[in-house]
Amino acid sequence: MSHREQTPLQLKFYQVIFGTETAAGKWFDLVLIAIIIASVAVIMLDSIVSLDDRFGDLFLRMEWGFTVLFTVEYLIRIWCTPNRRAYIFSLYGLVDLLSLLPTYLSLLVPQTAPLLIIRLLRILRIFRVLRLLSLLSEANELASALQRSGRKIFVFFSLVIIIATIFGCLLYVLEGPANGFDDIPTSVYWAIVTITTVGYGDVTPVTTAGRAVSAVGMLVGYAIIAVPTGIITAELSGAQRVRKMRDMLEARNCTNCSAVEKDVHAHYCRLCGTGLPRPGHAPEPEIPDEEGIL
C-alpha cells in the first residue's frame, strides 16, 4: 500500500511544509522562497572571478549552510508525506534531491573544470520557486491556457523551423562562407535569430540579394509573431468570458418588472416581490466550465 497512516506530528509537519491553508504553512513558504533565492544568488555571485577571489570562503560556507538546511527540509518532507514513493519520484522531489547532490559530491572529488556542469545542478533550486508560484490561481489559469494551446503551438513551432530552414538555405546559397554564412546549421541559426526578431548582428547579409531575401524573411517573421499571440489571447479571452458568462447566465429578469437579480439564492424580486424563475445554471454543476460555454 502506498498511502501510510500519518502520525499527528507527521500530519502537522505535512500541513506546514506541503500545505498553504494554515498561517504557519504560508510563513514557511515565504521563508523558503527567500532562502532559495538567496542560495541561487550566492551560486551566481560565486561564478564572478573577482568576487570568488575575495569572498570564496564566505560563499563556500554559505553554500554549506544552505545545503544542510535544504537537506533537513528534504528529509522532513520524506518523513512527513503520506506517500513517500510519489514524492521522491515526482518532478519536484527529483529537483529537491538533484540540487543537493553537487555540494556533497564536492567532498569526494576535488573541484575541477569537468565538474562544472555537475556543480551547476545546484541552480535547479530555482525550479522550486515554480512549485510555490503554482499555488497562485493566476499561475494555474496561465498554465491551463498554455496547455490547451499546446498542440497549436507545436504546429506553429514546426512551421517556424521549416521556414527558418528554407530561409537559412537560401542565404547560405546567396551569401556563402565568405560572408559569415559558414554552413547550413549556421545559416539556420541566423534565420531563427532573424525570424524571432532577436537580431544579434553576429551574422548579417552583405550582398544586395541576401539583404532583399532577409527583408522578406523579417516581414514573414513579423507576421507570424502574431500567431502564438493570437493563440494565447484567444484562449485567455475565452477563459475570462466563460467566467463572466456564467455570472450572467445565473442572473434572471423579474417576469413582472424586468429587474435583474444576480443572486442565485434569491426567490423573490427585490423591487416588486414577484416570484423569480429558477436560475438557469445553479442546479447543473456538471457543466464543464473548463471547456468554455461562449
* Touching a second copy, residues 167-226 (CB under 8 A): 169, 172-173, 177, 182-186, 188-189, 192-194, 196-202, 204, 208, 211-212, 214-215, 218-219, 221-223, 225-226
User: What binding mask, one character per residue, do residues 244-273 give for a second copy by CB under 8 A, x or -?
Assistant: xx-xxx--xx---xxxx-x--------x--
Is the CB of 31 or the CB of 48 nearer to a second copy? Answer: 48
Is the CB of 56 or the CB of 177 nearer to a second copy? Answer: 177
User: What is the closest distance, in whole angstroms, from the C-beta atom of residue 24 to a second copy in the complex?
Assistant: 24
What is residue 199's DSSP assignment? -
Is the CB of 7 or the CB of 237 nearer to a second copy? Answer: 237
Using DSSP's 3-state secondary structure scheme, residue 140 falls into: helix
User: What is the closest distance, in whole angstroms, from the C-beta atom of residue 183 to a second copy in the complex?
Assistant: 4
What is residue 135's DSSP assignment? T
Closest CA to 149 of 157, 137, 161: 157
Residue 252 near residue 260 (C-beta atoms within 8 A): yes
Is the CB of 11 or the CB of 163 nearer to a second copy? Answer: 163
User: What binding mask, one character per residue, do residues 13-32 give for a second copy by CB under 8 A, x or -?
Assistant: --------------------
Q: What is the 3-state secondary structure (H, E, C) of 103-131?
A: HHHHHHCCCCHHHHHHHHHHHHHHHHHHH
Q: Is 237 in the site for a second copy (CB under 8 A)?
A: yes
Q: 21: buried, middle or exposed (CB in 10 Å: 19+, 13-18, 0-12)?
A: exposed
Of 158, 263, 274, 275, the one binding a second copy by CB under 8 A: 158
Q: 168: buried, middle or exposed (CB in 10 Å: 19+, 13-18, 0-12)?
A: buried
Is the CB of 85 or the CB of 262 nearer to a second copy? Answer: 262
Q: Is 294 in the site for a second copy (CB under 8 A)?
A: yes
CA 40 to CA 66: how far, in whole Å? 10
User: Cell triple for residue 43?
Assistant: 551560486
User: What is the closest distance, in whole angstroms, from the C-beta atom of residue 70 to a second copy in the complex?
Assistant: 17
| Distinct helix (H) and strand (E) counts, the chain | 13, 2
Interaction residues for a second copy, span 32-91 (CB under 8 A): 40, 43-45, 47-49
Of 54, 61, 85, 278, the one binding a second copy by CB under 8 A: 278
Which of 11-19, 21-29, 96-104, 127-135 is the region at the interface with a second copy (rule: CB under 8 A)? 127-135
Using DSSP's 3-state secondary structure scheme, residue 260 falls into: strand
Q: Is 106 in the site for a second copy (CB under 8 A)?
A: no
Which residue type, as a one-letter code, is found at position 150? G
